[in-house]
């Protein structure tokens, strides 16, 4: 009797492999959920490919969607202009998980058609994957990983399209110094959120009277809300992402806290923050190294996706365009693309793009936005 197990085990394994193998046979026909409904120019004989690395599934999957949309927008435009030398986007989903990043990076490196990478999406996976890209000499342009240490690793392939956290934190804190008497600081214990919150705390100094940390996966922030309420703060800085910021804004308002909520670039999302929190978000301040994108870009996005551009949409549109410009300029291999990216100097949808020696974009101002009548509106540049 016991030996039948091996055979049955074989049968189960065979069945699973069959499932796996069968789905492998139709890789092209698998539906692409992010593809727009309107007819995009197809690319049957691509001359090159751009790799995107980031989170498409899992808890962070929502953040990846605007990135892919931005990249697809740029590539479809390019393909419409250059139908004979079209380019495709290849997605490498890591769920934002550093453990899955090296495998994705390896796959991209081994795919000889890929001449440049846009991403990695998060700082953690950048730390795990960028050493591989560096070794392979494959240029990366990230539009979202803002950790303040990434540019100091000496990676030649590293390029970033927005200012890092070390620049943003002090800028927003300096602004708060001029308006806030008592400030509270909350973070989400993530690398990004805590880094930003710590920078704000250091710069604001004794004006910070209450601090707390929330668990972004939890639904209830009442402990933090209570703390802010009893400390009687007039401004609350939140270091974290828009989904929690919306929850926090609503719960603060419900508890009768009238302090102004202030957030970083992770909060700047029209649908995810301003629309989601509705009246509770009114008056909230948001700092961001990003700009909405030119009116032209917004119009193109709205025509294609029928919505306002999501967070990092403009950055990934630009990132794709940086690599596309290199390909259009005649770069045929990775070294040539890397050189072309380093020399890139042009206006993008989000800002003027030119990379410094460490890979950070030189034109990286910090801009202040405010939610006015439900819309995130530009106010001023801050230093």
Partner 1 sequence: MSLTDIFRARTRPLTSVSSRFSALPKQVRWSLMGLFVVALYFAPRWPDVPVLGWIINTPGTNFSSVLTDQIMIFVLMALGLNVVVGLAGLLDLGYVGFYAIGAYTTAIITSQHANLPWLLAIPIAVLVSMSAGVILGTPTLRLRGDYLAIVTLGFGEIIRITANNSEWLGAAAGIKKIKHPPTIGPLKFGVLDEHPYWYLGFTAILFVIFLLRRLESSRVGRAWSAVREDEDAAELMGVDTFKFKLWAFAIGAGIGGLAGVLYAGKVGFINPDNFQLQLSILFLAAVVLGGTGNMYGAIVGGFLVAWMPERFRNFQDKRFFVFGVALVLVMVFRPQGIIPRRSAAAGIAKKGDSHV
Partner 2 sequence: MRDWLIYKTFWDLTVSGLVLGLIYSLVALGYTMVYGVLRLINFAHSEIFMVGTFGSLITITQVLGVPLFNDSNGYPYKSGLALVLTLVACLIGAVLVSGAGAVVLERTAYRPLRGAGDIYGAVVLAFISAFVASMIFSTNLSLNLTFALVATAPISYGYMRIFKKGRQAPRLAFLISAIGSSMAIAEAVATWGPDNRLVYKLPRVLEKKTLFKLFGTDVRIDYAIVAIGAILMMTSLLLFVNKTRLGRGIRAVAQDVETSRILGVNVNSVILITFLLGGCMAGGAAMMFTLMYDQTRFNIGFLLGVKSFTAAVLGGIGNIRGALLGGIVLGLAENYGSSIFGGQWKDVIAFVVLLVVLMFRPTGILGESLGKARV
Residues found near partner 2 in the complex (CB under 8 A): 19, 22-23, 26, 29-31, 33, 57, 59, 61-62, 65, 189, 210-215, 217-220, 222-227, 229-231, 243, 246-247, 250-251, 254-256, 271-272, 275-276, 278-279, 373-374
Closest CA to 261 of 376, 365, 146: 376
Residue 190 contact among partner 1, partner 2, none, beta carbon within 5 to 8 Å by kind? partner 1
Query: Is the Cβ of residue 33 or residue 45 nearer to partner 1 in the bound state?
Result: 33
Provide the CA 158 distance to its chain's centre, in angstroms. 16
Residue 36 contact among partner 2, partner 1, none, beta carbon within 5 to 8 Å by kind? none
Residue 13 contact among partner 1, partner 2, none, beta carbon within 5 to 8 Å by kind? partner 1
Rounded (10°) angle between helices 313-328 and 295-305: 100
HEC assignment per residue over 277-293: HHHHHCCCEEEECCCCC
Q: How far is the CB of 8 from partner 2 (least distance, A)?
A: 10
* Cα 175-187-118 angle, rounded to 5 deg: 85
Q: How far is the CB of 108 from partner 1 (least distance, A)?
A: 8
Q: How far is the CB of 182 from partner 2 (least distance, A)?
A: 13
**How many beta carbons lie within 10 A of that of residue 318, not counting itself?**
28
Closest CA to 314 of 349, 288, 347, 341: 349
Q: How far is the CB of 325 from partner 1 (least distance, A)?
A: 26
Site residues (CB under 8 A) for partner 1?
A: 1-9, 12-13, 16-17, 19-21, 23-24, 26-27, 30-33, 56-58, 61, 90-93, 96-100, 102-107, 109-110, 123-124, 127-128, 131-132, 134-136, 147, 149, 153, 189-191, 194-195, 213
Q: How far is the CB of 212 from partner 2 (least distance, A)?
A: 5
Query: Is the Cβ of residue 348 or residue 359 nearer to partner 1 in the bound state?
Result: 359
CB 146 within 8 A of CB 170: no
Using CA atoms of 144, 150, 156, 162 in order, give the dihedral in degrees to the nearest 10.
30
CB contact set of 124 (below 8 Å; sequence gap of 6+) = 96, 98, 101, 191
Query: Is the Cβ of residue 33 or residue 380 nearer to partner 2 in the bound state?
Result: 33
């Amino acid at each position: 009797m016991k030996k039948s197990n091996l055979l049955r085990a074989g049968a189960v394994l065979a069945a699973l492999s069959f499932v796996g193998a069968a789905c492998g046979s139709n890789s092209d026909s698998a539906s692409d959920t992010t593809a727009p409904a309107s007819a995009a120019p197809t690319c049957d004989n691509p001359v090159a490919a751009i790799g995107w690395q980031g989170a498409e599934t899992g808890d962070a999957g929502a953040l990846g969607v605007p990135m892919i949309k931005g990249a697809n927008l740029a590539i479809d435009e390019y393909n419409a202009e250059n139908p004979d030398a079209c380019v495709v986007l290849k997605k490498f989903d890591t769920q934002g998980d550093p453990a899955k990043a090296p495998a994705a990076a390896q796959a991209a490196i081994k795919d000889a058609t890929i001449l440049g990478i846009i991403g990695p999406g998060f700082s953690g996976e950048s730390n795990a994957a960028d050493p591989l890209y560096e070794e392979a000499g494959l240029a990366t342009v990230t539009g979202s990983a803002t950790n303040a240490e990434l540019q100091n690793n000496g990676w030649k392939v590293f390029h970033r399209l927005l200012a890092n956290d070390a620049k943003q934190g002090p800028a927003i804190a300096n602004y708060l110094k001029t308006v806030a008497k008592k400030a509270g600081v909350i973070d989400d214990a993530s690398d990004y959120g805590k880094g930003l919150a710590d920078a704000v705390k250091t710069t604001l100094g004794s004006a910070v009277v209450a601090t707390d940390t929330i668990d972004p996966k939890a639904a209830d922030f009442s402990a933090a809300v209570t703390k802010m309420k009893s400390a009687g703060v007039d401004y609350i800085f939140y270091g974290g992402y828009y989904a929690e910021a919306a929850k926090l804004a609503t719960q603060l308002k419900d508890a009768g806290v009238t302090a102004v909520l202030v957030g970083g670039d992770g909060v700047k999302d029209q649908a995810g923050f301003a629309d989601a929190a509705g009246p509770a978000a009114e008056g909230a301040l948001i700092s961001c190294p990003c700009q909405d994108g030119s009116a032209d870009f917004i119009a193109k996005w709205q025509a294609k996706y029928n919505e306002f551009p999501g967070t990092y949409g403009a950055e990934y549109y630009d990132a794709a365009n940086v690599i596309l410009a290199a390909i259009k300029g005649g770069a045929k291999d990775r070294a040539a693309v890397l050189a072309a990216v380093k020399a890139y100097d042009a206006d993008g949808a989000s800002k003027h793009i030119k990379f410094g020696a460490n890979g950070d974009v030189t034109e990286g101002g910090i801009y202040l936005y405010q939610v006015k009548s439900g819309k995130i509106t530009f106010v001023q540049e801050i230093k």
